[in-house]
Structure 1
């Protein structure tokens, strides 16, 4: 992708985002739909890294990936000058320190319930006395924090920990990305993935609030990536199931 901006304006945006000439892209390694493999030297590869590459190319910048083990650590680094852009889910709690574009891709989140569960819909899970395992400070975990009315959230550090807690503590539901729950279901005989979704993770590009002056360019970049089919092409290229273009 190339930028339609005049050279002077493109240079201004590049200098604002990456004054060293190297765009530092914060990458969440925990989402296997977005970072689906590693390069021979151990770097991230997948839809999110390729979106960062396309952005850097559009501004004539070199690219450096700044990987983090989970999205919470990406968000925590927003005010520490560790990255210039980040590719994570856009959530209101994170928007306090990060300015987000509209989503370029979406991921369904739903529940896995045990065989004995009477829940038939995602709405049934939010009931008094029900306990839900969820990875803390993920996009879907933050959504549950804001929206659950009656059920209790059993928060743990990672999605692997959430599966372990769901099994060990006989919890009523496991919250997660549908594509991940398909694998988790194999570890819980008789369990069911509920139809529908309680939210969709809005995968976006964010900038620290200190660099919010570049947001308009990033918004246009994402719109162009969707319009030209770049997002769909990256999903096909990396053979990702469970991720859709926004």
Structure 2
């Protein structure tokens, strides 16, 4: 713990416990263990590693979607979160460098005339997206002619889409592929419409948040360089994503 002085540690975890917000809206990063009910995944592994280095007890709080996770860290309910880097969130949250990159993709029904990502932003198209997700924030900025329809969370997107909501589903490519296995007559548009950089976020409202971010950033870079992130991806069978450069 000699890398972090007591004042910084107090700012980092003011309750003496490292309180970590886990976003269950992105199953590539975290999910609940079916046997124990505890969170598991890459984000959990990183958080446990940091808590161990700081010799702090850890407390995980799980949220159903990214928006709720972000609000929790902004309000001081948790000390750090694992979410996508986004400039809107960045007004209140300081990010480390990305530790993993994930692709955002569009899904349509086989009968759809849409063939390319560039076809989606056109009058009359309705894109279903998880409310408050990185894709929602990105598409809100970028989509000019199509409409956005927001599901309760990312996991509900394909079910809503198949119930008749919208004509395009947007989300994490791997999650769309997984959800599509429960239905027939769906296809992904080739390529991706965005790359999502996942990072640790801490509240800018904290004293010395810059120093805390610098410490966490050093840890993230070390975990990438050592192979920790790549090994965690393999252990948790994460496919279609890559360790951030």
Q: TM-score, normalised by structure 1?
A: 0.91
Deviations 1:127-176 (A, max 9, x none): 11111111111111111111112111111212343223322326321001
* Matched position secondary structure for 2:113: coil
What does residue 68 of structure 2 align with? 73
Is this contact kept in 1: 2:26–2:154, CA < 8 A?
no
C-alpha distance in structure 1 between counterparts of 2:143 and 2:240, whole Å: 24
Q: Which range moved further: 140-149 or 37-46?
A: 37-46
2:51 is aligned with 1:53: no
C-alpha distance in structure 1 between counterparts of 2:79 and 2:221, whole Å: 20
Q: Which range moved further: 185-194 or 133-142?
A: 185-194
Task: Give 1:39 deviation, angstroms.
Answer: 6.9
Q: Which range moved further: 102-111 or 160-169?
A: 160-169
Deviations 1:75-96 (A, max 9, x none): 1122322111111111112112
Question: Which of residues 141, 150, 171 in structure 1 aligns to 2:145?
Answer: 150
What does residue 236 of structure 1 align with? 234
C-alpha distance in structure 1 between counterparts of 2:126 and 2:156, whole Å: 15
C-alpha distance in structure 2 between counterparts of 1:188 and 1:146, whole Å: 30
C-alpha distance in structure 2 between counterparts of 1:77 and 1:170, whole Å: 29
Q: 1:237 to 1:11 in 2, by over 3 A?
A: farther
What does residue 118 of structure 1 align with? 113
C-alpha distance in structure 1 between counterparts of 2:122 and 2:51, whole Å: 46
Is this contact kept in 2: 1:36–1:238, CA < 8 A?
no
RMSD (CA atoms): 1.8
What does residue 163 of structure 1 align with? 158
Q: 1:131 to 1:102 in 2, by over 3 A?
A: same
Is this contact kept in 2: 1:114–1:188, CA < 8 A?
no
Q: 1:8 to 1:28 in 2, by over 3 A?
A: closer
What does residue 23 of structure 2 align with? 28
Is this contact kept in 1: 2:110–2:185, CA < 8 A?
yes
Task: Give 1:10 deviation, angstroms.
Answer: 4.3
* Matched position secondary structure for 1:77: helix
Question: Which of residues 81, 91, 98 in structure 1 aligns to 2:93?
Answer: 98
Q: How many residues are treated as equivalent by the alignment?
A: 241
Q: TM-score, normalised by structure 2?
A: 0.91
Task: Give 1:109 deviation, angstroms.
Answer: 0.8
